[in-house]
Amino acid sequence: MPKIAPFEPATTPDQTEQYAILKNSRRMAATSHNHLNGNGIGHGGRRSMLVPGILLLAVIVGATMLVTRKGTSSIRADRVQRGSLTATISTNGKVEPVADFQAHAPISTTVQKIYVKAGDHVKKGQILLTLDDASVRAQSARAFAQLKTAQAEQAAVQNGGSREEVINRQSQLVKAQADRDAAQRNLAALQKLLQSGAASPAEVQAAENQLRVSEAAVSSLQQTGTQRYSPQDATRVQASEKEAQATYDAAQATLGQTNIRSDVEGTVYSLPVREGTFVNPGDLLVGVAELKTIEVRAFIDEPDLGRLSQGEQVNVSWDALPGRTWTGTVTRVPSTVVTRGTRMVGEILVNVPNDDGKLLPNINVTVSIITAQKNDVITVPREAVRQDGGDKYVYVVADGHIKRQNIQTGISNLTRVEISGLPEKTLVALNSLNMQPLQDGMKVKVAGQ
């Protein structure tokens, strides 16, 4: 038979009564055990299953007799107190720097040189690390060559040809204009000679033909400079130049990003790479933030949103530094409700002084928002307050019974509630020790009294 711990000595009449009840329960259990052994019920397994069950039943019967004897229930109780009460909302949050700089890899390459270490204080513009830029330089050179070619084509369209073509055409035009001028002088001379009979009409006609040929040559060369390229050619060349310029500008920008400089003055809080580390585009290289003032983004459950106001005091704690508390202020209240896991929450921002820089970016913290504070108020434990529809009430303990008493409630925290309707030091019931529901008029005994 399983062993049962011995009884503690009885020192009061109630304990003597309880001792007797429990002793009877054990006698019942022992009798049941002997009865089973005497009748030889089962073969090993069945007996081992039945005996503990019967023992448990006997103990339950004894406990029930202990509770219901004379209709008295043993309860926990506490007294109404007067004092200060601070109403808070407790939740979780995440630290975010106010001024933050994060550098990410612009290309696939390796880290060439690192000039800082985590925890260093750096100035704005200070170089932090460099990346291998050989491939970017080659890309930039190719883009520059393509840009020069496109610019030359654009100039050719605007000028009617390349520089060499323009010079050659100008030379031809000067010669054609000289030939035209000579033809004009020759025609004028022959026309005078024709009047005196020194030249024939045929010679004059030949001179006129030569002038027309010379003028046509000049006109042709002049039109070549303005009509060599069509409007479609001009549009194509212009687009090509713009594309080449954009490609070159992008290559130059990427080249500039291989020398990582801080955009802010602050502390290096993240440096996940080492010299020689291969990185892909978008990989974090380094994080710098001004840590003397940080923000905490906290998440407040929807039912508590109505208690929030901008400017309320907030206490922030971090499990990594137990016993340390930072005090901040609510700077932004929720404007909408979002889903976060299984919760419907509103996001608030809390401004927190962090002079020693102990609160680091991206850590999870506990946030306690002080929504109200009162002094010299009457309070009871939260578990003493019950609700029936719109009425709130407590059970007052008096003369060995409990009586329902309606109350009005005010602010509350995690453990106590402000009330009115009861005098200070009134004893109120919390719960029964055997989980039996409390009822108005129930006969009770306060545990420990």
Closest Cα to residue 327, out of 362, 355, 289, 300? 355
In Å, how far are 105, 259, 286, 317 from 272, measured between CA atoms? Answer: 12, 17, 7, 26
For residue 1, is pLDDT > 70?
no
The residue among 187 and 31 whose pLDDT is bigger is 187
Q: Which amino acid is located at 169 in the chain?
A: R
* CA–CA separation, 418 and 359 (whole Å): 35
For residue 72, is pLDDT > 70?
yes
Please say whether the beta carbons of 419 and 410 come within 8 A: yes
pLDDT of residue 382: 95
Rounded to whole angstroms, the maximal C-alpha distance in the chain is 172
**DSSP code of 229?**
S
- Weakest mean pLDDT among 157-166, 298-307, 421-430: 157-166
Could you give phi then psi for residue 257, rounded to 5 degrees?
Answer: -80, -5
Could you give phi then psi for residue 78, rounded to 5 degrees?
Answer: -150, 165
Question: Which residue is associated with the tokens 């929720």?
Answer: 334
CA atoms within 13 A on the CB side of 39: 9
Question: Which residue is associated with the tokens 């030949």?
Answer: 206
Please say whether the beta carbons of 330 and 300 come within 8 A: no
pLDDT of residue 61: 47
Return the percentage of the chain with pLDDT > 90, whole number. 49
* CA–CA separation, 337 and 244 (whole Å): 48
For residue 118, is pLDDT > 50?
yes
Please say whether the beta carbons of 161 and 225 come within 8 A: yes
Band (pLDDT 50/70/90 cuts) for residue 94 is very high
pLDDT of residue 229: 60
- Weakest mean pLDDT among 285-289, 365-369, 434-438: 434-438
- Weakest mean pLDDT among 163-172, 200-209, 432-441: 163-172
Band (pLDDT 50/70/90 cuts) for residue 20 is very low
Band (pLDDT 50/70/90 cuts) for residue 159 is low
pLDDT tens for each residue of 320-339: 999 999 999 999 999 899 99
Band (pLDDT 50/70/90 cuts) for residue 57 is low
For residue 394, is pLDDT > 60?
yes
pLDDT tens for each residue of 342-361: 999 999 999 999 999 899 99
* CA–CA separation, 50 and 38 (whole Å): 14
The residue count for the chain: 449
Average pLDDT over residues 254-278: 92
- Weakest mean pLDDT among 6-15, 364-373, 381-390, 420-429: 6-15
Residues of the chain by 3-state class (helix, strand, coil), percent to 5: 40, 35, 25
**Do β-strands 72-79 and 443-446 pair in parallel, antiparallel, or remain unpaired?**
parallel
| Average pLDDT of the chain, as a whole number | 82
Average pLDDT over residues 26-43: 46
The residue among 93 and 255 whose pLDDT is bigger is 93
Return the percentage of the chain with pLDDT > 70, whole number. 80
Band (pLDDT 50/70/90 cuts) for residue 248 is confident
Beta carbons within 8 Å of 243's beta carbon, 6+ residues apart: 150
In Å, how far are 307, 312, 335, 345 from 328, measured between CA atoms? Answer: 17, 8, 20, 20
pTM of the full structure: 0.54
In three-state secondary structure terms, 287 is strand
The residue among 81 and 173 whose pLDDT is bigger is 81
* Tokens (6 digits) for 121: 């204080």
**DSSP code of 80?**
-
